Structure 1
């Protein structure tokens, strides 16, 4: 089992990266879009937590920023009808925290914002996973405050009420938090998030 890969980032695309280890071995690793958004520049040092998907015709490494994202991915794969491509797509649309919350809270509308997830699939995910998500706890992020999570939830709901999809809202709020929105009031966080998605008439 290859549980993590550490080395220099030598190639980066929206859905995959290549990492050259100190031994000279390069790994191609599939990634969700949420991981791409946190990648360093080419040549920089990087550590990805990896999950090995074994199929009859190929082995596929999927990489994540932290163990929490990796555990969420592994848990999603246990749901009926969910393969690696769909699981990666889910984590490309919603952050791991938001996805866990949507499943746990039986939020069908948020789950339906994910491409290839209709109402029937969303209900199946909830049926298979809702009672299992409390076992997975997010890892504390350096500098993050507990209140940030509450503010982020409120900001996401506000953007959705303005007509944005849950995926758009979640991504915009995450970017706003990264660019100075931590610890601020909800209205300020919403204002910053709106600059990431633009006004919608």
Structure 2
């Protein structure tokens, strides 16, 4: 099993990075929201990795934080949650907010995450609440309030901007940047306008 990679960034994709380690290039799938936090090509990066093997597919997933890797692995233990859905969840909501949503059984937050319906949200709570409580990787004393607007607005704004003819590659980095810098609640219209302004700067 490949536990981590330390090497030089060769290239960055929309949701992956190629890392060269001793002359070997590893393509690593990562949450889309961390791609733009990674070092540029030519610089060193360290990724905590999860090696996923199926009969028809072999994939390497990477995370800049070991706790993100752990919550990813916990998500995979839930029926109905595969690597693609788990990665999408971590791209749409911060780890601390996800942990709190599970621990406090906030179905409204969980069902707004990509690929998560009511039944899967209930399974997340049922199957992960005790495991998270027993883990030493998550600080449950200093919980960050869950901003439900962030998780729900992401999908709504993405869909609206796609309908305007913009590509996902154009939208996602700017949408993520706007949401990360958000301090106060904003309407969907306000969010879309801010993202359009960022796209116009291209």
TM-score tier by shorter-chain length is: 0.7 to 0.9
Structure 1's 167 and 48: CA in aligned 2 closer, same or farther, altered over 3 A?
farther
Structure 1's 66 and 89: CA in aligned 2 closer, same or farther, altered over 3 A?
same
**Counterpart of 1:15?**
15
CA distance in 1, matches of 2:63, 2:136: 15
CA offsets 1:28-61 (integer angstroms, 9 cap, x no match): 0011113213212121111111001111122211
Matched, 1:36 2:30: no
Contact 2:113 2:151 in 1 (8 A): no
Please tell me the root mean square deviation across aligned C-alpha atoms, in Å: 3.0
CA distance in 1, matches of 2:48, 2:153: 24
CA distance in 2, matches of 1:76, 1:45: 28
How many residues of Structure 1 are paired with residues of Structure 2 in the alignment? 170
CA distance in 1, matches of 2:81, 2:96: 19
Structure 1: any 5+ residue segments left out of the alignment? 140-145, 178-188
**Equivalences for 1:1-201 in 2 at 5 Å?**
1-21=1-21, 23-134=22-133, 135-138=135-138, 150=144, 153=145, 156=147, 160=149, 165-166=151-152, 168=154, 175-176=180-181, 189-190=183-184, 197=191
CA distance in 2, matches of 1:136, 1:9: 31
CA distance in 2, matches of 1:37, 1:97: 20
Structure 2: any 5+ residue segments left out of the alignment? 155-175, 195-202
Contact 1:93 1:167 in 2 (8 A): no
CA distance in 1, matches of 2:84, 2:151: 21
CA distance in 1, matches of 2:179, 2:15: 19
User: Scaled by the length of structure 2, what TM-score is found?
Assistant: 0.72
Structure 1's 37 and 104: CA in aligned 2 closer, same or farther, altered over 3 A?
farther
* Structure 1 segments (4+ residues) deviating >3 Å: 164-168, 171-174, 196-200
SS in 1 for 2:47: strand
